[in-house]
Structure formats: C-alpha cells, structure tokens
Amino acid sequence: MPEFVPASRVTRIKSSPSVAAAARVRELKAEGRTILDLTVGEPDFDTPQHIKDAAITAIGRGETKYTSVTGTPELQKAILQTLERKTGQPYTPAEITIGGGGKQVIFTAFMASLDQGDEVVIPAPYWVSYPDMVLANEGVPVIVPCGEETGFKLTPAALAESLTERTKWLILNTPSNPTGAVYSRQELAGLAAVLRDHPSVYILTDEIYDEIHFGEEPITSLVAVAPELKDRVLVTNGVSKAYAMTGWRLGYAGGPAPLVAAINKLQSQMSSCPSSISQAAAAAALSGDQSFVRDSVEVYRERRDAAAAGLNAIDGLQCSTPDGAFYAYVNCSGVIGKSTPEGKRITSDEDFTLYLLEAASVAVIQGSAYGLSPYFRISYATGLPVIKESIAAIEKAVQALA
C-alpha cells in the first residue's frame, strides 16, 4: 500500500489546542484520575425544554428531509428578525447563510473569498481556530498583539498599521474568546473610521457570545455603529452558546449578497443543508421565550465574580474581570521563572498549565494557543463548586512553587 501523503492544506495547519486539551482530560479521566476541567467552551446547562420540544414536534411532523441550502422559511424569518434587532439594519433572504455551526460558516466564508497570499488581520488573543482556518484556505494570518493595556482590544492605530494592499479581511470577536473583552460603541466607531479609508477590506464580526454579557447595555454590533459598512461586514452568530445548543450544530451569518451567494454555493456541495431538525430547534430558540438566556447570564455573572476574585487573591496571578462570554484570561507572569517541588523550572505558560494538570489536577489552556503569553484561559461554564475547588487547588499549587 502506498504511503498516504496529506494535502498541503492539512500539513500547514495544526489541530485545535482546545480540542486537544479536552481530549487529554478525557484520557486522564479514563485512567481513573479526577480532573477539575476548566477547558470546555460550552455551557453546562441543558438545552431549554421548549427548544427540544420544537425538534421533537418537527420529527413527529416528518420534517426529516433536505431543506433549502439557505434553510427553512421559519428559520430564515427568525434569523432575519434577529439580525435586524441586533444591527438595526434590514437583511433579505439573499443576505443570510446557514451552516453546521458558526465554525463552518466562518470556514466557508474564507473558502469562498481567499486566494493565495490574501491577508487576514487577526487581533490576539484570538480564538484558536482563526489562524488555521485562514492557512487552510491559502490566506496569510496577520497577528496583531492586543495586550492588557488596551483591554485585549484592537486600537485604530494598530489596525491602520496592520492593513496592506493584500488585506482581505479583519476579524472582530466581541465578546471575545478567550478574554471576555467587549468592544464599546466608541471603540467600534474608532475602528470604523479606519475601515472607511480601506474600502476593499471585508470585516468578519464573530458575535457568537453576544447574548452573554454583563453590562447594562446590550452588545453593540459594528453594523449598528457604522451602517455604511454593512455591504462588507459578515455578521456571524449561532445558537450554540446562548441557548446551550453546542451539539445541535447550527450557525448563521448575514452579509453582502455576492459573498453569501458564494458561501451558499460551497455549502450546496459540502453538506447540502444543515440538519432539518436542528433548524426547527434553532427557529424556536431565536424566536421563542428568552428567559433562559437572561437567567443563565446571571449564573455566569456569579461564577465570573467568584473566579476573578479567587484568582486575583493568588500571589503571582492576575485576572481582569471579563465583560462577556464565559472565559477569563489569567496573567501568570508572576510564576514564570519559579520551580516546581520536583525542581522543574516554569519557563512558559505552557509549562505552568502542564504543572497545574499534573500537580493540581486542574485543566486549563495555555495562552500561547491564543497568540498572547504568558496567560492561561479558564472557562467558567461549569458549576460554582468546581470553580471554587479548582481555584483552591491552583492556589495550593502556586504556593508550592519556589
């Protein structure tokens, strides 16, 4: 049998660090170890009952066939209403695309638009998949470090400096994974002022966490701040995070009709359409009772406050209080250079996360996976007892360093 040689698009990307971390946790648990898992980026709540009922009803009605590439009329209507509510701008069916999760929508958008050498500006810290999605589609990730001094957010000056004649896309993720940072209206307006001078640059706004925020005002979309940019903004979202529907795999986006048509052409050859049952559930999620979202945000708020307070009380760690999502990005520079009880020197955030896993049985993800060190990410989409036990174990492990 000839040796299999993968395509170059496979060899130039790496596996998702968050998926790898979750796999390692499963391995350790299978070995009988009790692991306090703070890696998982999905709600620990069950999908609301009225959403599950909508799926069950759809099955009972025999809605188990192919749908249009662009989804069922019911889901289209729900998405159009949601986009207009969030952006203040009307969208048409020709301006929306639906896929098997927000991740697929973003990947297909890059597949539909990137040619070899096209640049994509990615503020760091970033969601781990962005650079590899760009590389898989022959683009060039342009990483722009955005440190704590700017609240982990891209500034107009940094944006202007990063743009070139090869720039095809800018990615904005708000609220952010991994930091929980949220762009204000004023901050978005500053970025929009730069983008107006670069009419060939498209903007992908990843708003998958926009319902999970802790401020008094709703999250603001770039399109709402700068509607004149609407014809080159792809607003991506989904039902995974806000409605605890990660396994249903349903994402969507609204954007310029020519781009959407290209995405849908690829979608027609990739999977024909998203699951018809997931579409029925998503329509119920977007258009139905929203009390679950409001209630879950208050639970996340309590967990966030407990996590931030506990981590900031540990000498050597520092944690900015996140404004949204369910992550905290923890500065661990204070432990770099110290040594474990076994004499191993901590030289990086990856060393520290491995130490926490082995010495404290706490699983977190190193900041280098998100493009900015020395940090680590925790997810507080888990029960308060697990969060408190994890922080106690982290504190004990840090105190043991010399």
Q: What is the pLDDT along the chain (402 residues), one digit of tens a residue?
A: 789 988 988 888 887 776 777 777 888 888 888 899 999 889 999 999 999 999 999 999 999 999 999 999 999 999 999 999 999 999 999 999 999 999 999 999 999 999 999 999 999 999 999 999 999 999 999 999 999 999 999 999 999 999 999 999 999 999 999 999 999 999 999 999 999 999 999 999 999 999 999 998 889 999 999 999 999 999 999 999 999 999 999 999 999 999 999 999 999 999 999 999 999 999 999 999 999 999 999 999 999 999 999 999 999 999 999 999 999 999 999 999 999 999 999 999 999 999 999 999 999 999 999 999 999 999 999 999 999 999 999 999 999 999
DSSP secondary structure string for all residues of 141-198: EEEEE--GGGTT---HHHHHHH--TTEEEEEEESS-TTT-----HHHHHHHHHHHTT-
pTM, 2 dp:
0.95
Return the amino acid letter for 325.
Answer: A
Tell me which residue range forms the domain holding 83.
Answer: 65-287
- Tell me: do 182 and 271 sit in the same domain: yes
In a domain, 56, yes or no: no
Amino acid at 399: Q
Closest CA to 14 of 135, 163, 157, 177: 135
Measured distance CA(362)–CA(294) in Å, rounded: 29
Which of 269, 287, 305 corresponds to the end of one domain? 287
Residue 51 lies in a domain: no
Q: Does residue 3 form part of some domain?
A: no
Reduced to 3 states, what is the DSSP secondary structure of residue 96? strand
Question: What are the beta bridge partners of residue 203?
Answer: 170, 233
151 and 36, same domain (yes or no): no
Tell which of 271, 287, 303 closes a domain.
Answer: 287
Query: Do 300 and 360 belong together in one domain?
Result: yes
Mark which of 287, 313, 334 sits at the end of a domain: 287
